[in-house]
């Protein structure tokens, strides 16, 4: 029987790489996203809307009868310190990054519990464990993701449901380019120079590609990781080891 994976935010970037990784492993994959990606089964879903997430997950269960893996990938980046973070910006970051994962996990757990099987992988960041300047709300949201992985792992181990977080470092995605473009527009910096500097900050001398992060996600969802739960996995080129 084919395994079924649900990926939030699977239309581009790391999410699309995860979709591709699951497809390569023979999974039936559903992407819950506000826009359609090039691969996988698309379910139009805004992860900040709990009713929409419940409906999307129920649609998958109705079609497939099971959910073996859930990847909470949908997220947004925001750069600002605490004084310059408006309540609207704060709510937007928390709604997408934290509530979106909360809604998806909560919706998938009943069918996983009934099957006594499931793997949940949350997309964190190097900021799950460290702080960076000008990153108040985003950093807070990623620390919350780390907590969610650990507490969910403990609460649902009795049902043979595992939960882990992948703590990705700087990764070349559309989100990355959007952030760099915004910085260059504000500062007047040259994008090629900034991109090179970002790579030089990593011990391996470059930033990650989405597929390199996706490889860890798919591994954690697989039976090869059957005794791994409640843990944070850095895929950051050594950045947080410094």
Task: Establish if 151 belongs to a structural domain.
Answer: yes
In this predicted structure, the answer to whether residue 1 has a pLDDT above a threshold of 90 is: no
Task: Establish if 181 belongs to a structural domain.
Answer: yes
Active site residue 30: no
> Which residue among 138, 156, 176, 239 is the active-site one?
138
Domains held by the chain: number: 2
Say yes or no: 69 and 188 in one domain: no
State the pLDDT at residue 200: 97
Task: Establish if 100 belongs to a structural domain.
Answer: yes
Task: Establish if 59 belongs to a structural domain.
Answer: yes
Say yes or no: 43 and 107 in one domain: yes
State the pLDDT at residue 172: 97
**12 to each of 8, 31, 38, how far by Cα in Å?**
11, 10, 9
Section 104-126 average pLDDT: 98
Residue 64's H or E segment, with its range, is helix 50-64
Looking up residue 37, the CATH number of its domain turns out to be 3.40.50.720
Assigned token pair, 61: 């269960």
Torsion of CA 86, 90, 96, 99, to 10 degrees: -140
Task: Establish if 241 belongs to a structural domain.
Answer: no
Section 61-83 average pLDDT: 97
Strands (E) across 101-194 are located at 118-123, 161-168
**What is the domain range of residue 180?**
173-207
In this predicted structure, the answer to whether residue 227 has a pLDDT above a threshold of 90 is: yes
Say yes or no: 38 and 54 in one domain: yes
Angle at 117 between CA 8 and CA 121, to 5 degrees: 30
Say yes or no: 10 and 88 in one domain: yes
Section 135-160 average pLDDT: 98
Say yes or no: 189 and 223 in one domain: no
Task: Establish if 240 belongs to a structural domain.
Answer: no
Say yes or no: 142 and 24 in one domain: yes
Q: Read off the pTM.
A: 0.97
What's the DSSP call for residue 207? P
């Amino acid at each position: 029987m084919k395994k079924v994976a649900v990926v939030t935010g699977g239309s581009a970037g790391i999410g699309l790489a995860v979709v591709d990784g699951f497809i390569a492993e023979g999974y039936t994959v559903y992407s819950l996203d506000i826009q359609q990606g090039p691969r996988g089964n698309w379910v139009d879903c805004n992860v900040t809307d709990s009713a929409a997430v419940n409906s999307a997950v129920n649609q998958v269960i109705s079609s497939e009868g099971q959910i073996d893996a859930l990847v909470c990938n949908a997220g947004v980046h925001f750069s600002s310190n605490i004084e310059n973070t408006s309540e609207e910006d704060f709510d937007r970051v928390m709604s997408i990054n934290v509530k979106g994962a909360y809604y998806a996990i909560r919706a998938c757990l009943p069918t996983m519990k009934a099957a006594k099987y499931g793997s949940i992988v949350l997309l964190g960041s190097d900021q799950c464990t460290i702080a960076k300047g000008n990153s108040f709300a985003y950093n807070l949201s990623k620390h919350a993701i780390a907590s969610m992985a650990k507490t969910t792992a403990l609460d649902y181990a009795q049902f043979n449901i595992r939960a882990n977080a992948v703590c990705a470092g700087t990764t070349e995605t559309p989100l990355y380019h959007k952030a760099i473009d915004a910085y260059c527009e504000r500062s007047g910096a040259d994008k090629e120079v900034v991109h090179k500097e970002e790579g030089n900050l990593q011990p391996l001398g470059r930033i990650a590609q989405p597929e390199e992060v996706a490889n860890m996600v798919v591994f954690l969802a697989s039976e090869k990781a059957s005794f791994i739960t409640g843990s944070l996995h850095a895929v950051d080129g050594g950045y947080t080891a410094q």
